[in-house]
Structure 1
Amino acid sequence: MELIDIIGFIAGICTATSLLPQLITTLKQKKAQEVSLFMFIVLLMGNALWIWFGVAKSELPIILTNSFSLLLNIIMLVLKYKYKDNE
């Protein structure tokens, strides 16, 4: 693996895991009123496009980290829906 691939993985991991604190807070408080639905829809679209781009370019760091980020965004949207009555 080349250095640029390692940098790509590290950058992607940092970006993808940036959502974890919000996910943890939402799970603990069982509230998601502060979560912007529109923001997560835009993020989902962006992640999906990055995955498509990564597949087209055969770039594993882009594919894997954006797939993980897409999963976290989907989980957050599910929690937003699940806890909508707690708001």
Structure 2
Amino acid sequence: MNPPAKNKHYYFENNKIAPTAEEWLEGAKQIPGSWWPDYTKWLEQFGGEKKAARITFGNSKYKKKWKLLPACMSKKKQHLSSINN
């Protein structure tokens, strides 16, 4: 999967409902790039205020089951710091 900035793909857009997928596609407009930026912008209207990520997990009802970083992430972090030093 390419990130949107690569601009390697395209998607189709058609606001009209058609009886079949083929008819929908016939009336659709091909749009270059990724649909993710448009989708992200559309989703913003449904989101609340932005909050910082929590540093702890769990609460009195749901106990913490995992460390903050899974073991595989911790090993990757150790590997990257050994490369950068």
TM range, smaller chain: under 0.3
TM-score after normalising by structure 1: 0.23
Larger CA Rg, structure 1 vs 2: 2
Which structure has more helix as a fraction of its residues? 1
Which structure has more strand as a fraction of its residues? 2
